[in-house]
Amino acid sequence: MKLASYWHDTAPAFAGGQAGPVEGRFDVAVIGAGFTGLNAARKLARNGVRVAVLEASRVGAGASGRNGGHLNNGIAHGYADAQAHLGEERARRLYRAYDRSIDMIEDLIAEEGIACDFRRAGKLKLASKPSHAAGLRANQELVAREVDPATRWLDRGDLQGEIGSDAFHGAALFEKSAMMHMGRYLTGLADAAGRHGATIWEEAPVTGRLRTRDGWQLDTPRGQVYAGTVIAATGAYSAQVRKAPLGYFRKRIIPVASFVIATRPLSEAEAASTMPGNRTCVTSLNIGNYFRLSPDRRLILGGRAQFSARSDQRSDARSGAILRAAMAGIFPQLAKVEIDYCWGGLVGMTRDRFPRAGEADGMIYGMGYSGHGAQMSTLLGQVLADLAMGRRDTNPLDGLDWPAVPALNGQPWFLPLAGLWFGLKDRLS
């Protein structure tokens, strides 16, 4: 078993990074080379803006290359909860922004010629307990009535042609959802940004940010760049940057580890008996699981196997054992199937689990996807580019307040308590 991301290991590496010192003057500097930062850089470069990307590690080293491979439309919350929190108009606008982002990914892939196995698969939100079915169905009916008629309810008997498991009690089907190979999309997006003129430095963590007469100086161990505008697209990994450059986000982003396993390639018969519908799937538990088949027929299954902000080889391996047991509980027929990959990464959560994009602390920013960044980040990257070029009418999150989380400064000490609370809710639901 490799303690490495399947997406990284089965995609060509990005070869377009700058080898020399970090230096020069640019119109815009982007911190972070995940989906958000890369698409922001791509759009800026296409519009003739001189743009630099500074990545602390390698392209896609963070959440963009460490997720479960889902492009699920819709809001993670119940739609009624979103309406209550955001208001009807903003909730509708945000829901449709997720739809738009998946459309944008599909168009971008075609335009840039990226081979990443994109497919409109549909998503199943699965009722893990009989008591969950009524609530999921009510939410699906509300969504269909208010904002997305391309949804429908599947009773338990309808699931036989969708999933080879008796563990679920119905499901909401969201037909616009998709999937792709995240690693190949990452490399293709980075290649496209570079091809259009963006300058990308890997292994260039930002260690300092200083206001200058006409913009900003960004310091890295390899040198410094000057830019009129700075875009922060660091997400959960903001907490790993020294306090000064990204302190505003350290007080607002809660980094939470999430873990994923991938089996060996399944035979056609094994795949057909496990995921006959070949969709993306998410369970209804607070501490639940998400899963799908890969292009080479592996079952990729993830979840928050433990509540912490730590992802390293030791924690990944321990969490992989927990996920393997969860997989066997859902799919007993796979109990003895070998696990080829196990990896973890950090999810950037906000207190209310809604993403944020706007301007603060002298920077333009987009982050806080709360587990739904693979689908939303491409669109928000374009939004950030628009803001950098003076356009302010494309941001679906414009004006959404973002208060600091009390007692948070990068390290979420309260996560084990949150894990106990959510586990109790799952047992009692």
pLDDT digits (tens, 9 = 90+) for 78-134: 899 999 999 999 999 999 999 999 999 999 999 999 999 999 999 999 999 999 999
Rounded CA gap, 200 and 38, in Å? 9
pTM: predicted TM-score of the whole model, two decimal places: 0.95
In this predicted model, what pLDDT tens digit does every residue of 206-242 receive, in sequence order? 999 999 999 999 999 999 999 999 999 998 888 666 5
Q: What is the pLDDT of residue 109?
A: 98
Q: What is the largest CA-CA distance in the chain?
A: 67
In this predicted model, what pLDDT tens digit does every residue of 249-296 receive, in sequence order? 999 999 988 899 999 999 999 999 999 999 999 999 987 999 999 999
Q: What is the pLDDT of residue 309?
A: 62
Query: E strands of 253-298, at which residues?
Result: 254-263, 280-283, 289-293
Q: What is the pLDDT of residue 3?
A: 93
C-alpha angle 174-378-127 in degrees, rounded to nearest 5: 25
Of the chain, the percentage scoring pLDDT greater than 90 comes to 82
The top-scoring range by mean pLDDT among 25-39, 297-311, 394-408 is 25-39
pLDDT at 350 over 90: yes
Q: Is the dihedral of CA 128, 132, 137, 139 positive or negative?
A: negative
Rounded CA gap, 72 and 280, in Å? 8
Q: 152 - beta bridge partners?
A: 173
Residue 417 or 343, more confident: 343
Question: Could you tell me the residue ranges of all domains in the chain?
Answer: 6-421
Q: Tell me the CATH number of domain 6-421, given options 3.50.50.60, 3.20.20.70, 3.40.50.1110, 3.10.100.10.
A: 3.50.50.60
Q: What is the pLDDT of residue 308?
A: 65
What average pLDDT does the structure give for the chain? Answer: 93
Residue closest to 123 by CA, chosen among 310, 320, 303, 292: 292
Confidence of residue 315 (pLDDT cuts 50, 70, 90): confident
Q: Is the dihedral of CA 88, 93, 97, 99 positive or negative?
A: positive
